[in-house]
Structure 1
């Protein structure tokens, strides 16, 4: 297990996240904190980076409105951003950090940003997922 993987795991536990899956060989953690609305968030320690992703919804019908609204909302997100997977159909929240400089506050800020996004923008995300 890499030192960075262990540090990230320790931080998550300090922040009261439940680790629901862990793969040390691939340096992947899947976490949740239901009180913050976070479920199945994936953290990948790919030295020198920590990648954080949370699947949000599948795009069923591509429209300019969905893409435009997501890009406009990106401007309001403090840490992280909306992104599309390689298929262009799955919308995820994504943020990356340098492992070497990562501290507890930085990881907490990203997870809080995701939680805030989910609470403030939930109605719109649900609407997008149905279209």
Structure 2
């Protein structure tokens, strides 16, 4: 088991985050903390960084000012940013942390920032998704 994978797994378990799936070969986890609005969060040990990515919604056909609004919402975020998938079809939240000096508090801060972002912006993002 890789050192980074094992360290991240230990931290996730210490935080009480449910590991839905772990893939040692790919060095990634799929985790959830539904109580805090997190479902299928990808936690990927891509040395030298840890990538956290939460798919939020499909980009609606009539996206209106969604892109501008996502940039504005980014200024409210403590960690991470709202992004578009490579094909531009999905909105996601994404954060990166350095694996070399990753500690429990840093990982917890990033995950809690996602929970806070969902609490603050979920209603508005759902409005776009239904458009």
Q: Given the two structures, how large is their TM-score scaled by the length of structure 2?
A: 0.97
Which residue of structure 2 aligns with residue 8 of structure 1? 8
Which residue number corresponds to residue 112 of structure 1?
112
- The aligned counterpart of 1:45 is 45
- How many residue pairs match? The answer is 131
Q: What are the ranges of 5 or more consecutive residues in structure 2 without an aligned counterpart?
A: none
Instruction: Quote the Cα distance in structure 1 between the aligned partners of 2:43 and 2:112.
Output: 15
Deviant stretches of 4+, over 4 Å:
none
Q: Output the aligned Cα RMSD.
A: 0.9
Distance 2:126 2:45 in 1: 30
Structure 1 stretches lacking a partner, 5+ long: none
- Residue 60 of structure 1: how far off its partner (Å): 1.8
Task: Tell me the TM-score normalised to structure 1 length.
Answer: 0.97
Determine if the alignment matches structure 1 residue 75 to structure 2 residue 75.
yes
Which structure carries more helix by proportion? Answer: 1
Kindly state the Cα deviation for residue 62 of structure 1 after the two structures are TM-superposed.
4.9
